[in-house]
Amino acid sequence: MCPASQRARPGKQGLRLTQQAANSSTPAAQPEPPPARAPSPRPRSGQLQPRRKEGARRGCRATSSHSLSGLFCLPNSSAVSEPDADPALNPRNPVQRVPGRPGLGAPRRKSRGRQNALSASGPAAAAAAIMVRKLKFHEQKLLKQVDFLNWEVTDHNLHELRVLRRYRLQRREDYTRYNQLSRAVRELARRLRDLPERDQFRVRASAALLDKLYALGLVPTRGSLELCDFVTASSFCRRRLPTVLLKLRMAQHLQAAVAFVEQGHVRVGPDVVTDPAFLVTRSMEDFVTWVDSSKIKRHVLEYNEERDDFDLEA
């Protein structure tokens, strides 16, 4: 029995003291927790969903960047002590998470890097970043000589490529040099035509120019200066040695003619020519033949039954 009840007198006062001593020895009863609130119904497919609070999404970054609590996220900061920081624990938040199905009911967000790229570079760059893929090897090879931005200015590039492919020009510098020479010839002929017809200088210069162009094979006749307007880069390409071989029927196609010249099977006069860019004049066109030690010449002589062992050994 409690010692306080032994010292108290019997009666109402003693019973009151005994009850107080008993209450002080037992722990105080805690109040009952409020009943849990039922989760809100699941939003439908076409229904708009409310957004979360900005402070709940960013966490500790919701505080000011100039305060120590925002920099170090101290426990006394408002972001930690605020009861609405966690949307799952906030009873006033209309968006509730369904237990057992994480993420249900929360609004979807785009990735941070992709959202920043789309917002920073604009709609055109965003569409290009989404649609453009890495080109394959054959696509890069096909688009290497194509300019989609300045195609109107560089439209002559198509004609240049056509000439290079037709006459088997191995160096682009040859086409550029032929183009410059043809332009100089046309400009000179135009200036000579501007002079009076009875001028002695025009007569002498026109005759010299036409003789030179006819000797090179660039014009068909020595008729007039109007023929100089038709001198182009293709006119120089037609006087190249592989093209002359094809004209003389010494090769079946232009690619084989280029190979014969590079391998040293052809000579012009007494000299062996191994450069396909060699220009053949009208006077030297009749002296284009095979080298004496060439196997192609031996094969041609055997086919025509004109082979002489004495000449081949000599």
- What SS3 string covers 215-255? HHCCCCCCCCHHHHHHCCHHHHHCCEHHHHHHHCCCCCCHH
3-state helix, strand, coil in the chain (%, to 5): 50, 5, 45
DSSP helix/strand/coil, 180 = helix
Cα angle 192-194-195, degrees, rounded to a multiple of 5 = 70
Say if CB 235 and CB 182 are below 8 A apart: yes
User: pLDDT tens digits, residue range 71-93?
Assistant: 444 444 444 444 444 554 555 55
User: pLDDT tens digits, residue range 238-270?
Assistant: 999 999 999 999 999 999 999 999 999 999 999
Provide the residue count of the chain: 314
CA pair distance 259, 174, nearest whole angstrom: 18
Say if CB 255 and CB 192 are below 8 A apart: no
78: exposed, middle or buried (Cβ count in 10 Å: 0-12, 13-18, 19+): middle
Average pLDDT of the chain?
Answer: 73
To which residue do tokens 């081949």 refer? 312
pLDDT at 137 over 70: yes
Find the mean pLDDT for residues 162-180.
93
The dihedrals phi and psi of 271, each to the nearest 5 degrees, come to -100, 135
pLDDT at 237 over 90: yes
Q: What is the pLDDT of residue 62?
A: 43
Say if CB 298 and CB 307 are below 8 A apart: yes
In this structure, the dihedral spanned by the alpha carbons of residues 91, 95, 98 and 99, taken in order and rounded to 10 degrees, is -40
